[in-house]
């Protein structure tokens, strides 16, 4: 048996161990039931369960922070130069934090006739972000949207 202060008491009777646990106001927990003789410990079981849950929750939080999420920036073929610069600034922040970045260009009506303008804008974006990112999926069009996927270097 191990007491509340992590001191090994030795082999004692179960009823005596229960009495010691009640005396201190804690629980008698069987730690290693398969060993011969079984090992028990005097501890606050509720507190121990709470601490374990807290550790797993903290580990989950830390794991979540480091996973890369997909961030999307939406554009139009006639997006103004200043607006494009602001969107690139946001894109730099996302890439700096380790997120994947998808640029989506939407075309409406007759804009579909000027797909080359969309490709030119996305090409300009890749050139300005090439120091931070590499292309995972180059600019491709499907329906009325054109997408470009970048990942941090």
- Same domain, residue pair 138 and 85: yes
- Same domain, residue pair 88 and 145: yes
Asked whether residue 117 is assigned to any structural domain, the reply reads yes
CATH number at residue 123: 3.30.110.10
Cα–Cα distance for residue pair 52/135, rounded to 1 Å: 42
- Same domain, residue pair 59 and 75: no
Residues 6+ apart with CB under 8 A from 114: 77
- Same domain, residue pair 36 and 111: no
Give the pLDDT mean for 124-143: 90
- Same domain, residue pair 29 and 92: no
**Where does residue 135 rank: exposed (0-12), middle (13-18), buried (19+ CB within 10 A)?**
middle
Asked whether residue 1 is assigned to any structural domain, the reply reads no
pLDDT score for 66:
55
**Which structural domain range is residue 143 located in?**
68-152
The pLDDT confidence band at residue 93, using thresholds 50, 70 and 90, is: very high
- Same domain, residue pair 89 and 143: yes
Asked which of 4-13, 16-25, 52-61, 139-148 is least confident by mean pLDDT, the reply is 4-13
- Same domain, residue pair 80 and 51: no
At 100-109, the pLDDT tens digits run 999 999 999 9
Asked whether residue 6 is assigned to any structural domain, the reply reads no
Cα–Cα distance for residue pair 73/91, rounded to 1 Å: 8
- Same domain, residue pair 138 and 98: yes
pLDDT score for 37:
85
Instruction: Give the chain's domain count.
Output: 2
Asked whether residue 39 is assigned to any structural domain, the reply reads yes
């Amino acid at each position: 048996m191990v007491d509340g202060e992590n001191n090994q008491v030795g082999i004692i009777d179960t009823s005596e161990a229960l009495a010691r646990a009640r005396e201190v106001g804690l629980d008698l927990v069987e730690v290693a039931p398969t060993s011969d003789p079984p090992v028990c410990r005097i501890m606050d079981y509720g507190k121990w369960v709470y601490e374990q849950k807290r550790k797993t929750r903290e580990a989950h939080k830390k794991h979540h922070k480091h996973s890369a999420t997909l961030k999307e920036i939406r554009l139009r073929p006639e997006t103004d130069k200043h607006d494009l610069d602001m969107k690139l600034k946001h894109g730099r922040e996302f890439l700096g934090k380790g997120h994947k970045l998808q640029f989506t260009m939407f075309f409406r009506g007759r804009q579909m006739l000027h797909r080359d303008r969309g490709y030119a804008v996305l090409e300009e974006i890749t050139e300005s972000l090439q120091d931070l990112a590499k292309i995972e999926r180059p600019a491709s069009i499907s329906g009325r949207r054109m997408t470009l996927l970048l990942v941090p270097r």
